[in-house]
Structure 1
Amino acid sequence: MTDIPTGNEFSAATGRELESDHGKPRYLAYQRELIGPHCGRSVLEVGAGLGEFADGFTGFDRYVVTDVDSGAVERMKRRFADRPEVEVQQYDIDGRTRLSEPVDTLVAINVLEHIADDVTALRELSESLTPTGNIVLFVPGYQQLYGEFDRKVGHHRRYTPATVSEAARRAGLHVEVARPVNFLGAFAWWAAVRKGGAGAPNPRLVALYDRFVVPVTRALEKVVPVPFGQSVLCVARRTDA
């Protein structure tokens, strides 16, 4: 379902190697700030990669980090060896993988766009939730920003609040939040990827973006609703409570 060659899932989906974190501490803090208020006491993060997001996301009773890439899973086992609440599993969104013990919240950061049939994927993911559980999606925003990097890493689409909401509703979920985020990041992405044709992250530009752009957009979005952004945040809940 993910359309990524087996054995090279992490690199194919991110454009990075297993040995390297993406070096965006401020951006990760910004993501945690957006996602944290929507999480229950137990969390399943799918497509967690090297565990960078989970690394600073604490205070839960149970946190399950997963990835389809076996190399990424081994990296996460070492990374979280000293956190007893963290479980590391290999997990593919293929309809055959499901948690034996459901969680309150499922987090999927930059995952859904890799899946051709996103509605079926959301329906299957919801089977790992408690009856009152929710899914928090963080997905690339706006097809106008689709560029060479998106194509290279296997993005089927970029979303708007309306299109990600439609996918969630068709999967039988009730949408509670759907809004654009990372307003200034959209301009940086447009310049680097859409117009510049970048096919891989530039470490120097990534560091500059994290240092100067992220703090400004983070502060801006606390006081002003933004009309679009590099990403879309969606929170959707099971309706069979």
Structure 2
Amino acid sequence: MAEITGDQRVQSEVLEGLATAVNHRRWFVELAIPYLGDNPIEIGSGLGDYALEWAPHFRQFTATEADPERLVQLKERLADEPNIEVRQMLLPHSERGDYSAAVSYNVLEHIEDHVGALRSMRDLVRPGGAIVLIVPAFQFAMSPADIATGHVRRYTKKTMHAALTEAGLTVEKLHYANALGLIGYFMATSVFRLMPKEGPMVKIYDTLVLPVTKAAEQVVRPPFGQSVFAVARVPA
């Protein structure tokens, strides 16, 4: 099994900082909900911010984490949520499941064998179910912050499509998201060498810039973005 790479402490600090970007998270939560069915599993739940947003929409929700220390924190935070099961999971693996969907946000870019990881997600989901992903976009935006948090790649629609197809999945939806976020992220992390942590820049972006970006992208899909959003189906 391949563990997520990178400095777990730095990853946790970034997760804690980005937890304050509430509008950004809720936008990405909304993107996934139509595809998750009745019993989804999240791969790489981190500190549980997305799990807490998704869980009220479903009868049963499973949150997972690879890092043992973060898993303890996740279990403590979600202990009072009766419809959330928390378990450890590393990718790739040989487990089979019958979940309605697997959702994984900003995880695949940490895993060397990303096609093997996608096959593992596929095997957890019943035929016809969905794999829903968000990954960081464009290799030119690979920054010291990416490397410090364990990113081994960034994606385009083309490379994401290729990985999903190689994993035996049928691509249903694939588009860029958060165009202005890519510009801001590149300037902050590559030009000014900052880490994406909690602070006034994150709050200003989330409060003022993000709502405008979301509204615009609901009308017109941008040709670039900070993230790639993908939905693929497990063949029947």
Which shifted more, 196-205 or 143-152? Answer: 196-205
CA distance, structure 1, for counterparts of residue 18 and residue 193 of structure 2 = 23
- Which string of whole-angstrom CA distances, capped at 9 and with x for unpartnered residues, describes residues 126-147 of structure 1? 1111122110010001112111
Query: Which residue among 166, 169, 189 is the counterpart of 1:170?
Result: 166
How far did 1:198 drift?
A: 1.9
- Which string of whole-angstrom CA distances, capped at 9 and with x for unpartnered residues, describes residues 25-72 of structure 1? 111111111111221111100110010011122220110001012232
Percent identity, aligned pairs only, is: 35
Q: Which residue of 2 aligns with 1:84?
A: 82
Matched, 1:235 2:197: no
Q: Which residue of 1 aligns with 2:121?
A: 125
Contact persistence 2:176–2:228 (CA under 8 A): yes
Give the alignment's Cα RMSD to 1 decimal: 1.9
Q: Which residue of 2 aligns with 1:46?
A: 43
- 1:71/1:2 CA distance change after superposition, 3 Å: closer
For residue 57 of structure 2, give the secondary structure of its aligned residue in structure 1. Answer: coil
Matched, 1:75 2:73: yes
TM-score in terms of structure 2 length: 0.92
How far did 1:22 drift?
A: 2.4
- Which string of whole-angstrom CA distances, capped at 9 and with x for unpartnered residues, describes residues 67-88 of structure 1? 0122322222232223221100
CA distance, structure 2, for counterparts of residue 109 and residue 17 of structure 1 = 14
Q: Which residue of 2 aligns with 1:16?
A: 13
Contact persistence 2:3–2:66 (CA under 8 A): no
How far did 1:169 drift?
A: 0.1
For residue 13 of structure 2, give the secondary structure of its aligned residue in structure 1. Answer: coil
CA distance, structure 2, for counterparts of residue 196 and residue 15 of structure 1 = 21
How far did 1:113 drift?
A: 0.4
- Which string of whole-angstrom CA distances, capped at 9 and with x for unpartnered residues, describes residues 60-119 of structure 1? 0110001012232222223222322110001111315x36x5201101100000011111
- 1:157/1:198 CA distance change after superposition, 3 Å: same
CA distance, structure 1, for counterparts of residue 3 and residue 79 of structure 2 = 28
Q: Which residue of 2 aligns with 1:104?
A: 100
TM-score in terms of structure 1 length: 0.90
- 1:202/1:77 CA distance change after superposition, 3 Å: closer
Higher relative contact order (CA 8 A, sep 6+): 2
Contact persistence 1:152–1:199 (CA under 8 A): no
How far did 1:200 drift?
A: 4.9
- Which string of whole-angstrom CA distances, capped at 9 and with x for unpartnered residues, describes residues 124-174 of structure 1? 221111122110010001112111111111111111111101000000000
Structure 1: tracts of 5 or more residues without a match:
none
Q: Which runs of 4+ in 1 moved over 4 A?
A: 17-21
Which structure features the higher share of helix residues? 2
Query: How many residues get paired?
Result: 234
Contact persistence 1:21–1:50 (CA under 8 A): no
For residue 86 of structure 2, give the secondary structure of its aligned residue in structure 1. Answer: strand
Aligned-partner residue type, residue 143 of structure 2:
G
Query: Which residue among 19, 22, 27 is the counterpart of 1:25?
Result: 22
Aligned-partner residue type, residue 221 of structure 1:
E
CA distance, structure 1, for counterparts of residue 122 and residue 199 of structure 2 = 36
CA distance, structure 2, for counterparts of residue 201 and residue 63 of structure 1 = 28
CA distance, structure 1, for counterparts of residue 171 and residue 146 of structure 2 = 26
Contact persistence 2:101–2:125 (CA under 8 A): yes
- 1:21/1:197 CA distance change after superposition, 3 Å: closer
- 1:16/1:167 CA distance change after superposition, 3 Å: same
